């Protein structure tokens, strides 16, 4: 895809480096899409119980790393699969890559996974892309530049009408919930089932949070995420006028408990996680 075709899918004011992130993720997306199929457990690596890695997680990260290493020779790289990780000198920007977010979906052949890259500069998220290769949907955002889906500006839908919200949430594997007790977490899910229009467990935190940014979900929470998973999408939500915090309503920490929602709904969701 030529640079001008890629640019047409971003903000008209997209920086050259956002265009490079988009080009890299689109290129890698073709490989991921073509490789989707049901895999058996003995065809994968288990990084930990219930935490899988397919050969495609690695191959796709390699494609992204090769592109970005050329274009950003002095940036640090932190990929989830550690294919080409490198440190930068103090103060250099850091590129975070999650080649396949929703690896369990991918490994079972379920066509819903995100591919995501973000840039953190001086500790602040400044740019990010999230790509759904199956639907060819490219989400992108830059700090202060708004959030976009395939070249159209997106915004959270300010809907706090509890009976008529749809909320995404992680259904945790054992040990994933740490920010609150499992009892509080499961009570929060029950509260959603009892009061809202529906709860969705889509299986990719990156895409679910991107869905909050464009209003397909009113809110989302999951514990135990890493910056690789949520960085780009968190920037999408804040640039789309939404709110992203830890479960307790304070700034997100390295613990990775993430509560993203439109601003009208966020306080009600935070109340349920107390
Ligand atoms: P991943 O696919 O890149 O591992 C699914 O619940 C979401 O949580 C995905 O975005 C997944 O990212 C993330 N996640 C974080 N820790 C996980 C774990 N231990 N097991 C499964 N998914 C995990
Ligand atoms: Ca992953």
Q: What is the CATH number of the domain that holds 232?
A: 3.40.190.80
For residues 41 and 220, what is the distance between their CA atoms, to the nearest angstrom? Answer: 29
Q: Predicted confidence band at 1 (pLDDT cuts at 50, 70, 90)?
A: confident
Tell me what pLDDT residue 135 has: 98
For residues 256 and 178, what is the distance between their CA atoms, to the nearest angstrom? Answer: 9
In percent, the amount of the chain with pLDDT more than 70 equals 100
For residues 199 and 136, membership in a common domain is answered with no
pTM over 0.75: yes
For residues 113 and 270, what is the distance between their CA atoms, to the nearest angstrom? Answer: 26
Tell me what pLDDT residue 268 has: 98
Count up the domains in the chain and report the number.
Answer: 2
For residues 77 and 83, what is the distance between their CA atoms, to the nearest angstrom? Answer: 10
Residue ending a domain, among 132, 154, 176, is 154
For residues 168 and 257, membership in a common domain is answered with yes
For residues 32 and 140, membership in a common domain is answered with yes
In percent, the amount of the chain with pLDDT more than 90 equals 97
- State which ligand 1 atom lies nearest to the alpha carbon of 100: 3
Domain coverage including residue 73: 3-154
For residues 138 and 174, membership in a common domain is answered with no
Q: Predicted confidence band at 71 (pLDDT cuts at 50, 70, 90)?
A: very high
For residues 160 and 179, what is the distance between their CA atoms, to the nearest angstrom? Answer: 24
Average pLDDT, the chain: 97
Q: What is the pLDDT averaged over residues 244-250? A: 98
Residue ending a domain, among 125, 154, 183, is 154
What count of Cα atoms within 13 Å lies in the side-chain half-sphere of residue 115?
34
Q: Predicted confidence band at 234 (pLDDT cuts at 50, 70, 90)?
A: very high
Give the tens place of pLDDT for each residue, 151-198.
999 999 999 999 999 999 999 999 999 999 999 999 999 999 999 999
For residues 11 and 142, membership in a common domain is answered with yes
Instruction: For 171, list phi and psi in degrees, rounded to 5.
Output: -100, 105
Two structure tokens written together for 67:
């592109």
C-beta of residue 99 within 8 angstroms of C-beta of residue 229: no
Task: Enumerate residues lining ligand 1, CB below 6 A.
Answer: 50-51, 80, 98, 101-104, 170, 173, 176, 203-205, 222, 224-225, 229
Which has the closest alpha carbon to 140: 237, 33, 258, 259? 237
Which has the closest alpha carbon to 19: 59, 72, 66? 72
For residues 31 and 26, what is the distance between their CA atoms, to the nearest angstrom? Answer: 9
Q: What is the pLDDT averaged over residues 262-266? A: 98
Ligand nearest to the CA of 106: 1
- State which ligand 1 atom lies nearest to the alpha carbon of 175: 19
- State which ligand 1 atom lies nearest to the alpha carbon of 205: 10
- HEC readout, 75-124: CEEEECCCCCCECCCCCCCEEEEEEEECHHHHHECCCCCEEEEEEEECCE
Q: What is the pLDDT averaged over residues 220-243? A: 98
For residues 178 and 194, membership in a common domain is answered with yes
For residues 131 and 172, membership in a common domain is answered with no
For residues 200 and 3, what is the distance between their CA atoms, to the nearest angstrom? Answer: 36
For residues 61 and 230, what is the distance between their CA atoms, to the nearest angstrom? Answer: 17
For residues 20 and 105, membership in a common domain is answered with yes
For residues 132 and 25, what is the distance between their CA atoms, to the nearest angstrom? Answer: 10
């Amino acid at each position: 895809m030529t640079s001008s075709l890629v640019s047409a899918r971003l903000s008209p004011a997209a920086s050259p480096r956002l265009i490079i992130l988009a080009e890299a993720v689109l290129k890698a997306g073709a490989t991921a899409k073509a490789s989707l199929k049901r895999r058996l457990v003995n065809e994968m690596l288990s990084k930990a119980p219930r935490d899988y890695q397919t050969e495609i997680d690695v191959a796709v990260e390699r494609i992204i790393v090769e592109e970005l290493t050329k274009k950003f020779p002095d940036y640090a790289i932190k990929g989830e699969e550690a294919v080409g990780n490198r440190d930068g000198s103090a103060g250099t920007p850091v590129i975070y890559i999650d080649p396949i977010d929703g690896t369990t979906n991918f490994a079972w052949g379920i066509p819903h996974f995100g591919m995501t890259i973000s840039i953190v500069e001086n500790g602040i998220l400044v740019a990010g892309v999230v790509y759904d290769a199956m639907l060819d949907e490219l989400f992108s955002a830059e700090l202060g530049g708004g959030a976009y889906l395939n070249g159209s500006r997106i915004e959270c839908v300010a809907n706090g009408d509890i009976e008529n919200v749809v909320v995404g949430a992680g259904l945790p594997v054992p040990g994933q919930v740490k920010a609150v007790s499992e009892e509080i977490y499961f009570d929060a899910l029950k509260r959603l089932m009892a009061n809202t229009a529906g709860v969705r467990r889509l299986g990719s935190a990156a895409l679910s949070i991107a869905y909050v940014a464009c209003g397909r979900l009113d809110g989302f929470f999951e514990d135990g995420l890493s910056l690789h998973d949520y960085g780009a999408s968190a920037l999408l939500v804040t640039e789309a006028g939404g709110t992203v915090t830890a479960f307790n309503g304070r700034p997100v920490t390295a613990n990775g408990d993430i509560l993203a929602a439109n601003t009208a709904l966020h306080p009600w969701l935070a109340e349920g996680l107390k």
